[in-house]
């Protein structure tokens, strides 16, 4: 899935670390939240696999922008939060 800037996405509301030890690069506070793709940053080996000595399959990495007040419950209208997220954590909103 290649996402274009402006695409509305949702961070998967998944919690695989509850079932086995793993390295997760997706902040807990963003799971289930909607954001907008700002830009594609490139394709990189999946660090969640590399952390355990496995082959890191190529994954697209994106800057995704979130409305700050809806995430943190504070801030002014128009305040945003930009986070780097790998494609396997994103779904179309």
Q: Which domains does the chain have, with CATH numbers?
A: 8-92 (2.30.30.50)
* 3-class secondary-structure state, position 63: strand
Q: What is the pTM of this model?
A: 0.87
The pLDDT score that the predictor gives to residue 20 is: 64
Could you read off the pLDDT tens digit of each residue along the chain, which spans 93 residues?
689 999 999 999 977 666 666 667 789 899 999 999 999 999 999 888 888 778 889 999 999 999 999 999 999 999 999 999 999 999 999
Cα distance between residue 14 and residue 40, in whole Å: 22
Q: Categorise residue 52: left if φ over 0, alpha if ψ from -120 to 50, beta otherwise.
A: alpha
């Amino acid at each position: 899935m290649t996402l274009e800037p402006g695409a509305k996405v949702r961070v998967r509301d998944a919690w695989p670390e509850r079932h086995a030890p793993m390295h997760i690069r997706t902040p807990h506070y963003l799971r289930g939240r909607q954001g907008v793709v700002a830009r594609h940053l490139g394709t990189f080996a999946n660090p969640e696999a590399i952390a355990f000595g496995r082959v890191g399959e190529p994954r697209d990495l994106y800057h995704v922008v979130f409305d700050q007040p809806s995430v943190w419950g504070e801030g002014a209208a128009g305040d945003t939060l930009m986070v780097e997220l790998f494609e396997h954590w994103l779904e179309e909103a």
